[in-house]
């Protein structure tokens, strides 16, 4: 053993690769591997630091995107039912818009349908109520007419407010008329004509003594005026149905705040 050690040392001295100028060739791979591994570690640390310093909103968005995609691809049952009913409403309203323009199937009857719609405008009813109020000489008649005027004004304000909130357009691109602008009935939901005729018909049925044929004609008039707005393409079917509901609710509101005869006489004297 002692003799073998000096021999190995002598061999190492005689090896040319052990000289100082050749030492860099002995372990080139190790150095490169270490440098590469160190560079990889540094780049990995830099990437981790960059990921940590990334915007938290972007990380939240990247985490939420799959969930949002799943929600869009798999909507709820309520969403499917609502969209289906909405599509049916639009399709049926466009099919029933037979007087939407002159080229429609019933385009020749458009003038008559518009004339029927004028009977449900608020301006003629307000003007007629004021004329009747001036000519009325009985306390009971003035009380009914004052409350009718209140109901008409409430109808215009409530419908205008709801339409401004919903901002739903009709099935056809039809510009509102002059009377529509005066009563602020410029959007589709809810139908102002439908709410007004429903409120008026219920008001007259409750406060006027009418024969049965007249009561039937009054209800038919309200239905015809409401659905005439669908025929000319200004409203959807659901707009008219919701207008009938809001008209009935407005009637109930007027009944709750009904002005007495003394109050009406005080307002008339001020006017």
E-strand spans in the chain?
none
Q: Is the peptide bond before 190 cis (omega within 30 degrees of 0)?
A: yes
User: Catalytic site residue 236?
Assistant: no
CA nearest neighbour of 192 among 177, 203, 205, 206 = 177
Q: How far apart are CA 75 and CA 230, in angstroms?
A: 31
Q: Show the tokens assigned to 210.
A: 């009418």
Q: How far apart are CA 208 and CA 143, in angstroms?
A: 13
Annotated catalytic residue, options 121, 193, 207, 236: 193
Q: Show the tokens assigned to 255.
A: 């009944």
CA nearest neighbour of 172 among 129, 260, 231, 227 = 231
Q: Show the tokens assigned to 116.
A: 């029927």
Q: How far apart are CA 234 and CA 191, in angstroms?
A: 9
Report how far Cα 189 is from the mean position of its chain's Cα atoms.
10
User: Catalytic site residue 193?
Assistant: yes
Q: Show the tokens assigned to 250.
A: 């407005």
Q: Show the tokens assigned to 261.
A: 């005869």
What are the catalytic residues?
Answer: 193, 235
């Amino acid at each position: 053993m002692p003799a073998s050690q000096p021999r190995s040392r002598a061999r190492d001295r005689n090896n040319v690769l052990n000289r100082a100028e050749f030492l860099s060739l002995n372990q080139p791979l190790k150095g490169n591997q270490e440098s590469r591994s160190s560079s990889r570690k540094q780049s990995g640390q830099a990437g981790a630091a960059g990921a940590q310093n990334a915007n938290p909103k972007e990380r939240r968005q990247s985490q939420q995107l799959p969930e949002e995609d799943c929600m869009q691809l798999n909507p709820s049952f309520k969403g499917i039912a609502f969209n289906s009913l909405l599509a049916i409403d639009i399709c049926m309203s466009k099919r029933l818009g037979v007087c939407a323009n002159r080229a429609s199937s019933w385009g020749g009857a458009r003038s008559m349908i518009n004339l029927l719609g004028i009977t449900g405008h608020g301006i003629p009813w307000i003007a007629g109520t004021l004329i009747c109020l001036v000519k009325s000489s009985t306390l009971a008649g003035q009380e009914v007419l004052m409350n009718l005027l209140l109901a008409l004004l409430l109808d215009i304000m409530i419908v205008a407010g709801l339409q401004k909130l919903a901002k739903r357009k009709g099935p056809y691109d039809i510009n509102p008329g002059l009377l529509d602008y005066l009563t602020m009935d410029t959007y589709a939901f809810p139908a102002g004509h439908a709410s007004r005729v429903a409120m008026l018909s219920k008001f007259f049925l409750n406060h006027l003594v009418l024969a049965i044929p007249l009561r039937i004609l009054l209800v038919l008039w309200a239905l015809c005026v409401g659905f005439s707005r669908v025929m000319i393409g200004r409203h959807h079917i659901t707009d008219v149905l919701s207008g009938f509901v809001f008209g009935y609710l407005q009637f109930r509101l007027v009944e709750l705040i009904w002005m007495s005869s003394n109050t009406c006489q005080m307002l008339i004297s001020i006017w």
